[in-house]
Amino acid sequence: MAVIVILVLVWVGAYLCIRARILPVPVMRAWFAAVMVSVLSATNILTFFGHSLRHLGVSPKTTKLICTYVCIVTFRLALFLNPHIRIRIDERQQKWSEIPEPSATAVNHTSFWDAFCFVGSAPVNYIYNCKTLMKSTLRNMPLFGPVYDRVGHFPVYFKSSTDGDFSVDKDRQAIVAEEVNAHLKDSGRIAFFPEGAVNKTPRTLNPFRHGSFATILQNKLKVYYFVSVGNEETWPATASLGGYPADIDIVLGSFELNHNDASITAKDVAERLQAKMQSDLESLLATRASRGRKSPRGPLLSPTKSS
């Protein structure tokens, strides 16, 4: 019993030191690695059992929901167990509770931490029926790859793995589009990264791909956005492992879209939304600068795009 008490006290002490950011960065990153391996392993195992309930006659829709709730819990646990990564979300423009079903939410993509930040920040009554579109090859990732299918996310079948080449296999993607439309007609939500890949120059958004916006227009969805600054500091795009101490600021907003305007195109919507999100991104950066809120380990790791 005494050994257990000592171990608990040591763990609590280490957690508080991590939270206060008084330990060396390599120690905090080692903590982060241990947490993420544990969390992702638990997610894989629990969703495996949830997915296997199909063999007992449980419907695929129900097993996907069970696996989604597993991810909600484990992603929140990942945020809680990494207190040196602090998140502040501004809902003054838009509240999570006011985002309807169905709808679409665009998210800027700067880091592998984005998904944990988004799922961990969104309330359960939003995220439970929210799916995303992700590169099909991500299903081959160790530990977490199989989870994508178990929760019901939609694959994007790119023709090439070349950086910046977003051409897709149209035949395979047409089948996925039907599944996405069925999800939306069942009052589902989608969240997507319109840049298509992790942005290595996060102060300037990459051009938005148009595919998801055609789906938005076809289903007459209301559109929202989630812009964050700081994820790229805790897990840089060029790093195989994150865990650096960071302050993350987020703004949740809404985007006006007139579905009665028959002349509007997916390209129009993509360009207008990108301009809106870029404006809010710059406002976030300015607000951080005015508060003196900088990365705990220096300036932004990724540079601004050169003109």
Is 296 within a domain? no
Is 202 within a domain? yes
Residue type, 23: L
pLDDT (0 to 100) of residue 293: 62
Is 101 within a domain? yes
| Tally of domains within the chain | 1
Is 98 within a domain? yes
Residue 286 belongs to domain spanning: 86-291
pLDDT (0 to 100) of residue 299: 43
Q: What is the mean pLDDT of each run of 10 residues along the chain (307 residues)?
A: 86 94 96 96 97 96 96 96 95 89 96 95 94 88 89 87 73 91 95 93 93 94 96 93 96 94 94 96 91 58 41
Is 93 within a domain? yes
* Structural contact between residues 230 and 249, judged by C-beta atoms closer than 8 angstroms: yes
Q: 121: which residues sit within 8 A by CB, 6+ positions away?
A: 87, 89, 250
Supply φ then ψ for residue 292, to 5 degrees.
75, 25
Residue type, 277: M
pLDDT (0 to 100) of residue 181: 95
Look at the chain and count its residues: 307
Residue type, 233: E
pLDDT (0 to 100) of residue 302: 41
Long-range contacts of 11-20 (CB under 8 A, 24+ apart): 15/81, 15/83, 18/82, 18/83, 18/84, 19/83, 19/84
Report the 10 Å Cβ neighbour count for 181: 14
Write the CA distances from 253 to 134, 210, 276, 297, integer angstroms.
Answer: 22, 20, 9, 29
Whole-angstrom Cα distance, residue 107 to residue 72?
Answer: 18
**Per residue, what are the HEC states of the chain?**
CHHHHHHHHHHHHHHHHHHHCCCCHHHHHHHHHHHHHHHHHHHHHHHHHHHHHHHHCCCHHHHHHHHHHHHHHHHHHHHHCCCCEEEEEECCCCCHHHCCCCEEEEECCCCCCHHHHHHHHCCHHHHCCEEEEEEHHHHHCCCCHHHHHHHCCEEECECCCCCCCCCECHHHHHHHHHHHHHHHHCCCEEEECCCCCCCCCCCCCCCCCCHHHHHHHHCCCEEEEEEEECHHHHCCCCCCCCCCCEEEEEEEEEECCCCCCCCCCHHHHHHHHHHHHHHHHHHHHHHHHHHCCCECCECCCCCCCCC
Whether pTM > 0.85 for this model: the answer is: yes
Is 152 within a domain? yes
Is 208 within a domain? yes
Write the CA distances from 104 to 16, 66, 188, 200, 241, integer angstroms.
Answer: 38, 22, 9, 24, 30
